[in-house]
A and B are shown apart, each in its own frame.
Chain A
Amino acid sequence: MAANRLASRSEGRSVGGDRTLGWWAGSSLRPIIYGLLIVGALVQVYPIFFLLMNTLKTDTQILNTPFSLPTGFSMAPFIDVWTGDRTGMFFGRYFFNSVIVLAATLVLMLAISCLCGYAMARGQFPGNGTLHQALLLSLAVPAHALAIPLYFFVGSLGLRNSLFGLTLVYAALGAPFTIILMRAYFMHMPVELEEAARIDGCGRLGVFLRIVMPISRGPIAGMAIININWIWSELFFSLILMNKADVRTLPLAIALYKPAPMTVETVLALQYAAMALATIPVLILFFLFQRQIASGMTMGAFK
C-alpha cells in the first residue's frame, strides 16, 4: 500500500537534499524555526502533562499552584472514580461499556465490510458500480443529518439505552469508509490462490473464510486501528441514544461529570482521573502502533 510505503520512508535520512547543507544552513531564520517548533511542541504536550499531574493533586494545589508537581503518587483518585462510591459516577462501568461497544463495533463493522469489500473487488454482478458510487457519496453525509430518524428508529427496535443499539449505529457509520478501503485492498490482492482453492472445490464463502481472511490479517488490523480512535471518542450518538446512567460510554460520562470544586479536599483530581482513564489507553495504543496509526490516517486522507 502506498501509504505504508510512504510511512516506512519516514525513518532514516533526510528527504531531499544533503543534510550537511541542512535546513536553512546559515540562515537567520534557523533559530526562529527551531524556536517555533520547540514552543509548539511544549504547547502540544504541556496540557496533557497538566492533565496527568492533576490526577494526583488536591484542589488547592490544582487551583492555586498549577505548576507545582504532585507530592506523591496515589491510586486513590483512580480507585474513587472507578468504583464511583464517592462520586456517584461509576467510571469503571463506563469504561467497560466503552470497551464493549468498541470491540463489538470493530467485529461487526470489519465482518460486514470485509465481506462486502471482497464481493465488490472480485464479483461481477449488476449494481456493483452503483454500490461503489453510493458508498463514496455516503462519505460526504454528516452523521448529524441522520440523528433524528435514527433516534426514533433505534427506539422502535427497543435498542435505545442498549450497548448493542449503539454498536449497530457505529458499525453503520464506519462501514462505508472501511468497505471502500478493503475493496481497494482486495482488488490488488493476487487472485491465484483463490482460484486454486476454487478448483479444489472450495465454495466462495469457504475461499473467503479459509484463504482470504487469514492472509488479510494485516490490513484488517490496520482498519481496526484507524477506527478505534473515533469509536472510543464518539459523543453525539452516545448522548442521544444513551439516557440511562448505567449504559453511558466514557466520553458521555466525562461530558456529564461536573464536580463542584473545593467542597472537599480533592474533587477536581477525580475529574482529571476520569479524563486520564479515557486517555491513557489511547496513549498506550499510540506508542504501540504509532506507524500503523500514522499510515492509516494518511490512507484515509489520500482517498
Chain B
Amino acid sequence: MRGFRNALPWYLFIAPASLMLLTLMAYPLFDTLRLSLFKWGGLGPQTFIGLRNFSKLFGDEIFWRALGNSFIFAIVVPFFTVSIGLFLGVAISRRLKGWQVYRIAFFIPVMMSGVVVATLWANMFEFNHGLFNTVLRSIGLDALVQNWLGDRNVALISVMLVPIWQSVGFPMIVLLAAIEGIPQDMHDAATMDGVNEWQRIWGLIVPLIKPVLASITMLSIIGAMKVFDIVLVMTKGGPAFSTQVLGYYLFETAFRSGYFGYGSAIAVVMFVVVFAIAYAYVRGVRIESVEY
C-alpha cells in the first residue's frame, strides 16, 4: 500500500502521454493487424476473411512492384547519402578551405519540406520546359533529353535522385560530429606513426565511427522505406507502376479506392519490413548507447 502511495504521483505524471500513445499508437497498430484479416469498404459491415488479403497480396503484381521499388529505394538512396555524407564529413572535419560553406550548403536542403523539394524537382524534370531538358537542348545534347518522369525506364532513377539530393546533409552532419568526437591523441599517435591521409581515414576514422555509421545507415534505410511525399507529388506511382512504393500503394488502396482491409494488409507488410530492419540492426550491431 505504501509502495502504491509512492508510485501514484508518478502514474499521474505518465498518464497523459500513456493515454495518448495507447489510443493513437498502440490501438491503431493492433487495429491495423485486425483489419488486415477483414474485407471492409470503410462503411458497413466488416467481413472476416482470414488471411485472404495476404494471399491476394501474394498474387498482386502492383504490390510486388511496390515492394521491390521500396527495397530499391532503401538500398540505393542510403548507399549514396551515407557514402557521400561520409566523404563530406571527413572532408569538412579536416577543415578544407571553405568548410563552413560546404557544411551549410549541404545541410540546407535537409531542412526543406519534402513537398517543396519534390515540386521543385518535378518542375525541373518537366519534359518540355523543365530546367534539365532546356539546358541539354541549349548545349546541343538533344540525345540526352529524357522524359525524366514519364519514361518508365527512367522515372525511378529520377525520383530517387531527389531524396539523395535532399538528404546527403543529414549523414554528413551526424558523421561529422562523430569524427570530431575522436580523441585528438589518437590522431596524434597516428601522425607519429607517419600514416598518410588514406590510412588515417580507413584505419582510424572509419573504424572508430562505425557504430554511428551503422546507426545513420539504418535510419536512412528506414526513412527510404517510408518514402511517400516525393512519389505523390512527382509521379503518383506511375508511369506503369514503375515508381510505385509501399507507402503510396497503401494510401491509394485504402484512401483512394476504399479497400481498407486490403490496405491494412499492405500496412502490415510495411510494418513487418521496417520492424525487421530495425530489429536486425539492434541485434546485429548492439552499439553501446552514448551517454548524454
Contact with B along A166-205 (1 / 0, CB 8 A): 0011011101100101001100100000000000000111
B32 touching A142 by the CB < 8 A rule?
Answer: no
Q: Which of A2, A6, A37, A138: most chain B CB closer than 10 A?
A: A37
B94 touching A17 by the CB < 8 A rule?
Answer: yes
A119 touching B274 by the CB < 8 A rule?
Answer: no
Q: State whether the Cβ of B160 lies closer than 8 Å to any Cβ in chain A.
A: no
Binds B, one of A70-78, A79-87, A275-283: A275-283
Q: State whether the Cβ of B64 lies closer than 8 Å to any Cβ in chain A.
A: no
Contact with B along A109-124 (1 / 0, CB 8 A): 0011101101110111
Binds A, one of B51-59, B151-159, B259-267: B259-267
In the assembly, what is the distance between CA of A198 and CA of B182, in Å?
A: 41
User: In angstroms, how far is the closest chain B Cβ from the Cβ of A141?
Assistant: 6
* A149 in complex: contacting residue of B28, B111, B184, CB < 8 Å: B28
Interface size on A, residues (CB 8 A): 118
A150 contacts across to B, CB distance below 8 A: 24, 28
B106 touching A40 by the CB < 8 A rule?
Answer: yes
- Contact residues of A between 210 and 257, Cβ < 8 Å to B: 229, 232-233, 235-236, 239-240, 250-252, 254-255
In the assembly, what is the distance between CA of A151 and CA of B111, in Å?
A: 28
In the assembly, what is the distance between CA of A184 and CA of B289, in Å?
A: 11
* B111 in complex: contacting residue of A13, A14, A282, CB < 8 Å: A282
* B25 in complex: contacting residue of A66, A141, A232, A294, CB < 8 Å: A141
In the assembly, what is the distance between CA of A72 and CA of B249, in Å?
A: 44
User: In angstroms, how far is the closest chain B Cβ from the Cβ of A16?
Assistant: 3
B134 contacts across to A, CB distance below 8 A: 63-64, 66
A144-B267 in contact given A116-B14, A116-B17, A126-B7 (Cβ < 8 Å): yes
Contact with B along A261-303 (1 / 0, CB 8 A): 1000000100100010011001101100010011101111111
User: In angstroms, how far is the closest chain B Cβ from the Cβ of A162?
Assistant: 14
* B35 in complex: contacting residue of A47, A148, A239, CB < 8 Å: A148
B35 touching A41 by the CB < 8 A rule?
Answer: no
A19-B119 in contact given A6-B180, A141-B274, A179-B17 (Cβ < 8 Å): no
* B20 in complex: contacting residue of A131, A152, A175, A236, CB < 8 Å: A175
- Contact residues of A between 30 and 51, Cβ < 8 Å to B: 33-34, 36-38, 40-41, 43-45, 47-48, 50-51
Q: State whether the Cβ of B86 lies closer than 8 Å to any Cβ in chain A.
A: no
A123 contacts across to B, CB distance below 8 A: 7, 9-10, 13
In the assembly, what is the distance between CA of A24 and CA of B184, in Å?
A: 19
A301-B215 in contact given A16-B200, A286-B108 (Cβ < 8 Å): yes
Q: State whether the Cβ of A260 lies closer than 8 Å to any Cβ in chain B.
A: no
Identity of the chain A residue whose Cβ is nearest the Cβ of B166 in the assembled complex: A44
Q: State whether the Cβ of B67 lies closer than 8 Å to any Cβ in chain A.
A: no
In the assembly, what is the distance between CA of A269 and CA of B254, in Å?
A: 35
Q: State whether the Cβ of B37 lies closer than 8 Å to any Cβ in chain A.
A: no
- Contact residues of A between 125 and 151, Cβ < 8 Å to B: 125-126, 128, 131, 135, 138-151
A15 contacts across to B, CB distance below 8 A: 93-95, 179-180, 182, 184, 187
Identity of the chain A residue whose Cβ is nearest the Cβ of B33 in the assembled complex: A145
B120 touching A185 by the CB < 8 A rule?
Answer: no
A1 touching B93 by the CB < 8 A rule?
Answer: no
- Contact residues of B between 79 and 114, Cβ < 8 Å to A: 84, 87-88, 91, 93-98, 101-102, 104-114
B289 touching A303 by the CB < 8 A rule?
Answer: yes
B115 touching A235 by the CB < 8 A rule?
Answer: yes
User: In angstroms, how far is the closest chain A Cβ from the Cβ of B57?
Assistant: 15
B181 touching A2 by the CB < 8 A rule?
Answer: yes
In the assembly, what is the distance between CA of A207 and CA of B234, in Å?
A: 51
Identity of the chain B residue whose Cβ is nearest the Cβ of A139 in the assembled complex: B278
A235 touching B267 by the CB < 8 A rule?
Answer: no
A43-B165 in contact given A140-B279, A254-B116, A255-B119 (Cβ < 8 Å): yes
Contact with A along B236-279 (1 / 0, CB 8 A): 00000000001100110011000010011001101100110011
A286 touching B274 by the CB < 8 A rule?
Answer: no
20 pairs of residues in contact across A and B, judged by CB atoms under 8 Å: A7-B177, A23-B94, A37-B98, A40-B88, A45-B108, A51-B120, A66-B134, A116-B18, A118-B13, A124-B6, A144-B246, A144-B270, A204-B13, A229-B111, A233-B115, A239-B255, A275-B116, A299-B292, A302-B174, A303-B215
